[in-house]
Structure 1
Amino acid sequence: MATWLLALDTSTPRTALAVGRIDGDAAELVAHATHDDRGKPASAELSPRISALLAEAGVPARALGAVACGLGPGMFTGSRVALATAKGLALGLGCPLFGLSTLAVVAGAEATRGPVLALLDARRGDVYAAPFVVGDDGPERLAEDRCCPLAHVLADLPAGFAAQARAVGPGVNVVADALPADLRARSLALPGADAPGLWAAAARAARREAPADVATVDAVYLRASYAELGLNTPKRPPYRSPFV
């Protein structure tokens, strides 16, 4: 029996949404949307966008049989918003939740096939990165997600990978000058995740992986936040109440 799967990711400067059917080894994308959220928060728009996509697909929310969600790495707030929404849906519907690496979502972008190095800008001189091979079954991981300087990523790539791969994602422009010339020439500087990539990662997870524990699954940061490191600078001087 086919299962309706809703997938979402807001860990990059784009919101990606997809809904489709999973039936055994078959996966059919029915409706999808990619929204450019650079310069504005995605959180206020996420629920209406999901409702609109389900309406486009002709699928009532109660008919969903599974939810998949990008967990990061990427934008900390975006990852938390998507996960909170996905958890609420999974708990309310009593359906499984599949956690996705946002790097896998980026790697599975519509224009990619073959070896892909997914790159997101982690700032502070680092990238979020992982190598994949993207085929008809979606992005297959070759190494774990990392947060480190690009030089470390390149040094640890599988033998022969860089000679055929293309780098993909928002991190490409940030580190373009540090990429080997041939790899840079094949690269694709996407502004964020896209819906076809999200569906590719979600469909693979739903068919091949065990669901996450909804109670314990968490966003993936790979690094401490500025607040945790004590690096945040207050926007205004501390205010002392005259009543204290």
Structure 2
Amino acid sequence: MRLLVIDTALGACTAAVFEDERPLAVRFEPMAKGHQERLGGLVRDVMAEAGGGFDALDRIGVTVGPGSFTGLRVGLAFAQGLGAALDLPVVGVSALDGLAASVDSAGPPVAALIDARRGQVYAKLFIDGAAVGPDEALSLDEAARRITALGNEVRLVGSGAAVLVEAFPDLSMASMDPRVAPSAQALGRLVAAADPADHPPRPLYLRAPDATPPTRLPGQPRQPVP
């Protein structure tokens, strides 16, 4: 199976082509913003390096969040548009699943954590590579409580790891991998193993956006304060 993987949900822009889990071309560029400007070029580059053209693809995979509202929609729109044009299945993958799959599944439990700001992290816990709960937005207190309950050898992965350890120094004994995004290889494995019917490319939002709609249209007068 040959697949194209796209990730723009977090702090990097990733495009990669895999065939039977063998990487044919990988591009990974850390970035906080600007995914929209870079994604098309990265996809062009990996497809050219992999050879065979778009007709050789069997499926497309894309991260669906949680993460940046703007970033994840860039990847989703691109993947869905390309899938429709090529008549290919598009598989949606959780960014937290991708982070957890980026570390060795054997060994102590894993806590995949993304800095959600406002005193929260997006979190998902894993034991022996299997999730023990859903993707959630948790307060730092609640995240620390759940991680502590897993034991003393929990591995923390993702941008939320440093945030949690800073707030709870007792967690500094845990192994910490503060990577900004899942590895392309981890996403490739998840996309290859997923059933497209069970993993649609729909955005995974765990809380309302920080932005709010304007209270008046441009040119409208401000409403008097009562």
Q: Which TM-score band (shorter chain)?
A: 0.7 to 0.9
The alignment-based identity, stated in percent, is 31
Of residues 20, 24, 27, the one that matches 1:30 is 24
Do the aligned residues in 2 keep the contact of 1:162 with 1:183 (CA within 8 Å)? no
> What is the 5 A alignment of 1:135-150?
140-150=130-140
Do the aligned residues in 1 keep the contact of 2:153 with 2:174 (CA within 8 Å)? no
Q: Does 1:83 align with 2:62?
A: no
> What is the 5 A alignment of 1:15-94?
15-22=13-20, 27-38=21-32, 40-94=33-87
Do the aligned residues in 2 keep the contact of 1:99 with 1:211 (CA within 8 Å)? no
C-alpha distance in structure 2 between counterparts of 1:147 and 1:34, whole Å: 26
Q: Does 1:129 align with 2:134?
A: no
Q: Name the Cα RMSD after superposition.
A: 2.8
Q: Does 1:153 align with 2:152?
A: no
Of residues 206, 226, 233, the one that matches 2:210 is 226
How many residue pairs get matched? 219
Of residues 85, 88, 105, the one that matches 1:113 is 105
Do the aligned residues in 1 keep the contact of 2:100 with 2:111 (CA within 8 Å)? yes
Deviation at 1:44, TM superposition (A): 1.2
Q: Which amino acid aligns with 1:203?
A: A
Gaps of 5+ in 2: 221-226
Deviation at 1:155, TM superposition (A): 3.1
Q: Secondary structure at the match of 1:88?
A: helix
Deviation at 1:116, TM superposition (A): 1.6
Q: Does 1:204 align with 2:193?
A: yes
C-alpha distance in structure 2 between counterparts of 1:210 and 1:102, whole Å: 16
**Cα 1:225/1:42, change in 2 over 3 Å:** same
Q: Secondary structure at the match of 1:71?
A: strand
C-alpha distance in structure 2 between counterparts of 1:173 and 1:143, whole Å: 22
Q: Which residue of structure 2 aligns with residue 14 of structure 1?
A: 12
Q: Secondary structure at the match of 2:141?
A: helix
Q: Which residue of structure 2 aligns with residue 188 of structure 1?
A: 177
Q: TM-score, normalised by structure 1?
A: 0.78
Q: Secondary structure at the match of 1:187?
A: strand
Do the aligned residues in 1 keep the contact of 2:92 with 2:199 (CA within 8 Å)? no
Do the aligned residues in 2 keep the contact of 1:14 with 1:36 (CA within 8 Å)? yes
C-alpha distance in structure 1 between counterparts of 2:186 and 2:140, whole Å: 23
C-alpha distance in structure 2 between counterparts of 1:162 and 1:90, whole Å: 43
**Cα 1:30/1:142, change in 2 over 3 Å:** farther
C-alpha distance in structure 2 between counterparts of 1:113 and 1:203, whole Å: 17
C-alpha distance in structure 1 between counterparts of 2:27 and 2:151, whole Å: 31
Do the aligned residues in 2 keep the contact of 1:104 with 1:132 (CA within 8 Å)? no
**Cα 1:49/1:73, change in 2 over 3 Å:** same
